A and B are shown apart, each in its own frame.
Chain A
Amino acid sequence: MESASFPVKASVRTGLHRLWDKFYLWFFSQSFSWILVLMVSFPYRKRMSHDNGIGGTGQVTMVKDQKFPAHPFFAPGKVYPARIRHASATFLDDAMNCIRSMSIKFSDHHFKSPFDIEMNSGEISLFWSAYSFVQFAKLRKEKYGVEYIEYYKKYPEGLKGAEEALRRNPSSFENLRYYCKTPFLFIGEDQIKRYAKYRVRPFNDEPETGINKDMDPVDVGNQRVLPHETRGRNYLKYEYEDRVRRQGAKYLMQIQTRIAQDDDDPEIFNNMIPWDEESHPWHDLAILEIDKTLDWKESTLTSFSLNHMPKTLGIIPAKSIYDYNSLNYLRSHSEKARLARLFSYKVFGFPKEIPNNDIRNSGDWSMIQREKVSNLSRG
C-alpha cells in the first residue's frame, strides 16, 4: 500500500499566501484608520459617517426565558446600564432618505463598556468586505444630496442593499429595525463555537416606518428631501427627545446563532445574505429601556467600538481584505480614529450642533462649524 505523503510544498505556499493576505489586511486596516485620523477625525472633529445623531441612556435587561445557547455575559435577568445612539448617515438632515443607525453600549460611559454593538437599518448592507467598502467610499461622489450613482450602477448588490436600508421620513427612531448584518463569534457555556447576529426591534413590535416602496433604481442615489418638505433638519432627533421625555423608548434585542462547521460556506459570513430564519430563528436576548436623552455634547462624545466585547463574543477573524469578516476587522481597527476625534474635542472644543435652518440636503460638517450663528437660533 502506498503511504499518503503530506503535500509540504503546497502547504508552505498556501501558508505563505495566507500570511501575506493577513499582513495585507492588517496594513490595509492600519492605513485606513490612519487616513481617518489624519484626514477626518482629528482635523474636522468628525465621525466617518454617522455625525447626525442623538444619544440616550437607560438600562438593558437580559430576558429570563432564553432560547439561545447560554452565555454568562447574557445570563438571564442580568441588568446592565445602557447607552445608545441613533443617527442618520451620512447627511446632516433628518428629512433626507438616509440609512438610520442604532449603536448600543452596555454601560453608561461615553466610551468604556464591556459590550458595544453597531447596527443599521435594513437586513442587508451596501458593501460586504473591507475591499468593497473602499470602492463604496471611493465612488460616493456626493453632490447636493445625490450620491453613489456610479456605485449603484456597478454593483447590483450595493443597490439592493441601499433599497433595503434607506429610510425616508420615519416617524421615529424607535420603530425601525436595526441589524448588525456581519456575524460575530459566540462561544457560550457549552464551549461550542457558534456565530451570532444581532438585531433590535421596537418592544411593542409596531410596524416599521420610512420604508421606501417601489423605488426606481435610478433614483436610489437621490437622497434629497422631498419637494415641499415641511419636516426640519432635526425633526427625528426632536421627536426622539420628546418621545423619551414623554414615555421613554423600549426595544427588544434579539439574537440568531448557528454552530460553526469546518466546511462552512464562506457565504454564511456575507452580510448581504441573511441567515435562513427557519433554521436559525431569532431569539429574544434583552430588553432595552431608554429613559433619558443626551444633549448634543454628550451625544457627540458617545462612541462605540467593536473591541468592546467579551472575547467569546468578539469579531470573527478575517483572512484577507476580500473576506466578508474583514468589515468587522476594519471597524475594530479604526478605534484610533475615535480616540483621535475625542482628543480633537479637547484640543479644538466640541463641534457645533446642527442648526435647524433652511440649508437642506447638506452633509457639509465643516460648513456648520464655520457658521457664525447666534446661540439663540439653535435648539
Chain B
Amino acid sequence: MSLFPPGATEEDLERVYQSAHKETKIGFTDQGRFFGPHMKNINHLEVGISRVIDSKFTWVVEYLLDKFEKFTIWLKKINRKIFPRRMVIHGKERDSYITAKLTFAKRDDYAKPLHHMPVLFWAKTFFGGWRLLAQGFSDRDGMVRLEFDYLESRRYRYRSFHFEICQLTHVFFHEENPNGKAELEVFERIKISKSDLTGMGYNLGNIQVFYWEYRRDVQMPRVVIKDHDEDSPEYYSDGRNRAIKEQFIPIELTKKKHLLQIKLDPESISIPSIQADYPKNLTVAMEEKLPYSTRCDYWFGRRTMNGMNAATFIPDPLEPERFWVKYFGACTYEVNDEYAFPTVEIKFHIPSDQFPIPEQIITTGPVSSHEKDQFIRKSFTPQDGDQWEQAKRVARVSGALCAELDDHFAATHVNTEQFAIAARRNLRKNPLTILLFPHLKEVSLINHSADTILIGPGYIPRASALTAKGIVKRCEDMMGVLDWKNWRPMEILSPKHTYAQAENLFWEVVGEFVEDFFQKNEKKILEEWYEVFRFSEDLVQNSAEVFHHSIHSKPLSSEEKEREESRIAYYHERYRFDPYLPREEFQGKVRAMSPITKNPFQPDPGDMDNLKDACKYAIMMATFMHTWVNEHQYEDIGEVLYCSLGLRFGEHKEGIFRPESDYAISPDLTRATQMMWFSNLLSRTEYGFITRNEEHDIDPLFSEMLERKRAEFKNLYIEIDNIESRTNI
C-alpha cells in the first residue's frame, strides 16, 4: 500500500481535498415551508424518532397553539408597556424593612449563603402598575435587608407586594452599553400579602433558592435541570431554537424515513443507500473525486494531526522523528458484548515539513467475539497489506470515540459547564460576568440534552462498546485531567501542524482580549474579589477527583498498572495537566481544578494572573476547542464506512479486522442512519459565532481582534466566522 492513491501525488490529493471541502461546506439555507414539518426546539430531538410535527392535524393544533402563545406574549408585552417596571424608588422614608436570608437549596447546599443576589421589592397597584419600593443585594452571608417607606406601602392603591430575587442572564453590547450590560431576570418571586407588612421588620425567613445546583448523582460538576422547558436555570435564546428548526428538519426527516424503511421493508435499505440520502460529507466527496484518497496513509496521518481528533504526538524515547499517538479504548469501563473498543497506539514518522506517516499500529484488547482477553496485542505495519488498511479503520474508529467522549464531551462540554456553574453561582457584581457569561451560556442545556440523546439511553451506548455507565465513568476520569493552571496550547511539531498553529493563534487572541478586559476593569474586579473567591471555591470543590489519584488508589494487576500509567502520562500531555502542582483536597478527594485564590478579601500575589488564566482557559474551551472538535465531526465521522464510533465484533474469527464491505462489523442500519443524523446534528446546527455576533452578546473587541487575524487563520484552513462564541450544540 502506498502513501497516496495509485498514480496520485500530494498535490492531487490536496486539490481534491480543497475542492471537496468547498463542495461540502455547510450552508444554512433551509427556511422550511409554510406547511412543512416543524419542530419546537432542540429539547424535542431524540435519537429514535424526534418529535417533529408533520401530521396536518397536529400541525394545525400546533399552529393555533403557537398563535395563542404568541398572543399571550404580545399581551404581556402590551402589559409591560402600559405598566412599565420603572426603576424609580417610591417613598421618602426608610422606616421599615423586609429581610431574608438567601441560601442554596440542595440537601448538601442549603446552609451555603447566596451572596450578592440582586433583589427588588415591588408594590403592585390594583390596576396592575408596578412601583419599586426598594432594591439591593444580598450580602456575603446571603442576608437581605431592603428598607422602604412604610406609609407609602399602606396606600390604598397597592394591592400586593412582591419580593423578587433576580439573576443576571444575557449580556448585551449596544451603542448605549459599549462595555456590555448584564440583564436582570426574575428568578424567584415571592408574594407578600399587604396585611403582613405591619411596620418595623418583616422577615421572609430563609429563602432556599434552587439556583444552579450541582448534581450529586455523578462525580463531576453538572448542574441540576429539572425540566428543560419549564424549570431550568437558563433557557435557549430564540435565535438558537430558530437555527435548529431551520437547519435540522431535513436531516431529521431523512432519519425518520430510514427508521420507517427498516421497520417496514428492511430489504429496501442498505448502508450505501443511507449514506447517499444524507448530504455528502468531506470523505464521501473526496472518494468520488479520487478513490482511496481518504483511505491512504497520507490522509490518515494528515487527519490524525489536523482532523477532528487533532491527536497529541508523543516523541518516541529511542527513535528520532518518531512519535506515538494513543487512543485508549475500553480499559476497565463497562462495555457491551457487541462492539469492540481496543486501545490503539500508532507510531508515526514525522519528517520535517511533512505530515505524519503511519508506520505501525498496535491494538490492545478484544477485537473479535472469539477472543476477549483485554490485554491481547496485535501489531500491524504498512507491509501487512489489507490488514494494514483494516487496522487504520480500527484506529480511526477508536480515535473517533475517544475524540467524541474525551475531547468533545468531557474536555469541552462538561469542562465549560463546570465554569458556567461556578460563574453563575457566584459572579454577580463582578465585571467578570460581562467577560464570561456570553461564552458560558447554554452549555448546561446542551449537556442536559446530550445526557439523553448521546448518553443515557442515547446513541453512543447503542453504537459503541461503552455502556451509559461506562461513558459516565470515563467522563468522570477525563474531568480529572482538566485544569486551567499551567494550561498551554499544543506544541507545534511542524509547519504542517495547522491545528496546533491555530490553537496557538487563537490562544494569543484570547490572551490579548482578556488582558485588555482586565486592564479596563481591574478596579471593579478587585472590589468584588469575594465573588472570585467563591467562584474559585466552587470550581475546586466540585471538580472531579484527580485522575491519577483515583487510579493509584485502586488495586491493579501489573498489566493494568502498566496500561494506566501509560494512560496517565498520555492524558497529562494531551490535556496539558500539570501533575506536579499542589492540589486541594475536599471531602477526601484530591480535586483536579486549581484554586484561583484562597483569599476572600483581596488577591494574594499571583492570584490576579491565576484569574486571567482561568478566564482565558474557560473562553478557550467554550469557543475554539469546542468548535474544532464539533465542526470536524461532519468531516471525520460523516461517512459510516470510513469512520463510525464503533465496530461490531462481527461473525468472523478476524473480528473487526475485516474489509469495509463486511457490513457485519459496521454499525447496523439503524445505528448507521442514527450516526449520520448525529454527526449532522452536531456539525450543522451551530449557532452563536464570535464574529457574526448574532445576539450582540460578544464584546465587539473580541470580534475585532479575531478579524485582524482572519488571513492567518485562513492559511490554517480556518474560517473565523465559523468559530462559535459558546458551546451550545
With the chains together, A4 CA to B447 CA distance in Å?
69
Asked if A128 and B200 make an inter-chain contact with CB atoms under 8 angstroms apart, the answer reads yes
At the interface, yes or no: B273 with Cβ under 8 Å from chain A?
no
At the interface, yes or no: B2 with Cβ under 8 Å from chain A?
no
With the chains together, A316 CA to B200 CA distance in Å?
20
Query: How far is the CB of A365 from the nearest CB of chain B, in Å?
Result: 27
Q: Which B residues are in CB contact (< 8 Å) with A129?
A: 198-199
| Contact A135/B203 with A267-B95, A322-B151 known, Cβ cut-off 8 Å | no
Within 8 A of A (CB), among B196-211: 196, 198-203, 205
Query: How far is the CB of A25 from the nearest CB of chain B, in Å?
Result: 12
With the chains together, A87 CA to B95 CA distance in Å?
34
Asked if B203 and A153 make an inter-chain contact with CB atoms under 8 angstroms apart, the answer reads yes
At the interface, yes or no: A335 with Cβ under 8 Å from chain B?
no
At the interface, yes or no: B154 with Cβ under 8 Å from chain A?
yes
At the interface, yes or no: A298 with Cβ under 8 Å from chain B?
no
| Contact A154/B199 with A267-B95, A322-B154 known, Cβ cut-off 8 Å | no
At the interface, yes or no: B299 with Cβ under 8 Å from chain A?
no
Query: How far is the CB of A273 from the nearest CB of chain B, in Å?
Result: 10
Asked if B199 and A322 make an inter-chain contact with CB atoms under 8 angstroms apart, the answer reads yes
| Contact A272/B203 with A135-B195, A266-B95 known, Cβ cut-off 8 Å | no
Query: How far is the CB of A43 from the nearest CB of chain B, in Å?
Result: 27
Interface string of B193-227 (1 = CB under 8 A from A): 00110111111010000000000000000000000
| Contact A156/B95 with A132-B199, A135-B198, A322-B199 known, Cβ cut-off 8 Å | no
**For residue A265, which residue of chain B has the nearest CB?**
B95
At the interface, yes or no: B517 with Cβ under 8 Å from chain A?
no
Asked if B196 and A156 make an inter-chain contact with CB atoms under 8 angstroms apart, the answer reads no
Q: Which B residues are in CB contact (< 8 Å) with A127?
A: 198
**For residue B150, which residue of chain A has the nearest CB?**
A322
Asked if A155 and B95 make an inter-chain contact with CB atoms under 8 angstroms apart, the answer reads no
At the interface, yes or no: A350 with Cβ under 8 Å from chain B?
no
Asked if A132 and B203 make an inter-chain contact with CB atoms under 8 angstroms apart, the answer reads no
At the interface, yes or no: B99 with Cβ under 8 Å from chain A?
yes
Within 8 A of B (CB), among A115-132: 127-129, 131-132
Considering only CB atoms and an 8 Å cut-off, how many residues of chain B contact the other chain?
Answer: 14
Interface string of A319-357 (1 = CB under 8 A from B): 010100000000000000000000000000000000000
Considering only CB atoms and an 8 Å cut-off, how many residues of chain A contact the other chain?
Answer: 17
Asked if A156 and B99 make an inter-chain contact with CB atoms under 8 angstroms apart, the answer reads yes
- Name the residue among B150, B195, B198 with the largest chain A CB count within 10 angstroms: B198
With the chains together, A128 CA to B95 CA distance in Å?
13
**Interface residues of chain B: helix, strand, loop or mixed (majority):** mixed
Q: Which A residues are in CB contact (< 8 Å) with B199?
A: 128-129, 131-132, 322
Asked if B196 and A132 make an inter-chain contact with CB atoms under 8 angstroms apart, the answer reads no
**For residue B198, which residue of chain A has the nearest CB?**
A132
Q: Which A residues are in CB contact (< 8 Å) with B154?
A: 320, 322
At the interface, yes or no: A157 with Cβ under 8 Å from chain B?
yes
Q: Which B residues are in CB contact (< 8 Å) with A128?
A: 198-200
Query: How far is the CB of B206 from the nearest CB of chain A, in Å?
Result: 10
**For residue A136, which residue of chain B has the nearest CB?**
B198
**For residue A273, which residue of chain B has the nearest CB?**
B200
Interface string of B689-715 (1 = CB under 8 A from A): 000000000000000000000000000
Asked if A132 and B200 make an inter-chain contact with CB atoms under 8 angstroms apart, the answer reads yes
Interface string of A235-276 (1 = CB under 8 A from B): 000000000000000000000000000000011001010000
Within 8 A of A (CB), among B107-150: 150
Kindly list 18 other residue pairs between chains A and B, CB separation below 8 angstroms, not including A128-B198, A129-B198. Answer: A127-B198, A128-B199, A129-B199, A131-B198, A132-B200, A135-B195, A135-B198, A153-B205, A154-B196, A155-B200, A156-B99, A157-B200, A157-B201, A267-B95, A270-B200, A272-B200, A320-B154, A322-B198
Residues of A participating in the B interface, judged by any CB pair closer than 8 Å: 127-129, 131-132, 135, 153-157, 266-267, 270, 272, 320, 322
Query: Ordered nearest first, which 4 A-B pairs have the shortest CB separation?
Result: A132-B198, A157-B200, A156-B201, A135-B198
Contacts A/B (CB < 8 Å), 23 sampled = A127-B198, A128-B199, A129-B198, A131-B198, A131-B199, A132-B198, A132-B199, A135-B195, A135-B196, A154-B202, A154-B203, A154-B205, A155-B201, A155-B202, A156-B201, A156-B203, A157-B201, A266-B95, A267-B95, A270-B200, A272-B200, A320-B154, A322-B151
